[in-house]
Amino acid sequence: QQQVKQSPQSLIVQKGGISIINCAYENTAFDYFPWYQQFPGKGPALLIAIRPDVSEKKEGRFTISFNKSAKQFSLHIMDSQPGDSATYFCAAKTQGGSEKLVFGKGTKLTVNP
Amino acid sequence: KAGVTQTPRYLIKTRGQQVTLSCSPISGHRSVSWYQQTPGQGLQFLFEYFSETQRNKGNFPGRFSGRQFSNSRSEMNVSTLELGDSALYLCASSLRLAVNTGELFFGEGSRLTVL
């Protein structure tokens, strides 16, 4: 079964620090890797995404690093703020006959003031 | 522009009953996907509809079904409810086939509790 493994499950960071969340996948048939942010009581919202032909993508304080050979990708949040406290999900889109998003199990980030 | 609207937001059912959840996508979006979210399993894909046709299906039993109407609104139904069906059911819409871009717009979900 196609899987995306996400770590850590939870993360506590001080304000101004760097938050790093890692994901690994097994299936090489994934062709798109989005990250979603979810606040309590809300649905997930797309944060940033990357395609496997790019090794890094930056949008403001958020950066995705992608290592195709290692089948790993990570989210870096620079200068973490209390407002970044949320659950983050990595995901991968499968290509081929049964296309769908496969999500990691999420990382609960807490940024202390 | 209104976001994805899901109703009801909360509901409580007992084992053996059935439930129908509704989703109104963002205006102009023709693709609707459904996900089940639980603490243990995270977000799991149920199915996706586009132009009233089921395009993709996840690994859920046949008790889980859905449909899409001509106005792109979608419903999902769970029959013969089990305790393990307690979850947050999320609907997501997209301008086109959802998984072409991964750009899904999620609603706030319907939280189902099965007693």
pLDDT tens per residue, range A34-68: 999 999 989 999 999 998 889 999 999 999 999 99
Q: Which of residues 34-93 of A touch B (CB under 8 A)?
A: 34, 36, 41-46, 49, 89, 91, 93
Pairs of residues, one from chain A and one from chain B, whose beta carbons lie less than 8 Å apart: 65
Residue A69: is its pLDDT beyond 50?
A: yes
> Hey, what amino acid is at B103?
E
Which pair of tokens denotes residue A38? 């979810």
> Hey, what amino acid is at A30?
F
| Pairwise pLDDT comparison (B79 vs B40), residue with the higher score | B79
Distance between CA atoms of residues B38 and A106, nearest Å: 11
Chain B residues in contact with A100 by the CB 8 A cut-off are: 33, 45, 48, 56, 58, 99
Which residues does A109 contact at the CB level (< 8 Å), separation at least 6? A10, A11, A12, A13, A19, A21, A77, A80, A84, A85, A86, A87, A88
Averaged pLDDT for residues A2-11: 92
Tell whether B46 lies on the interface with A, counting CB pairs under 8 A. Answer: no
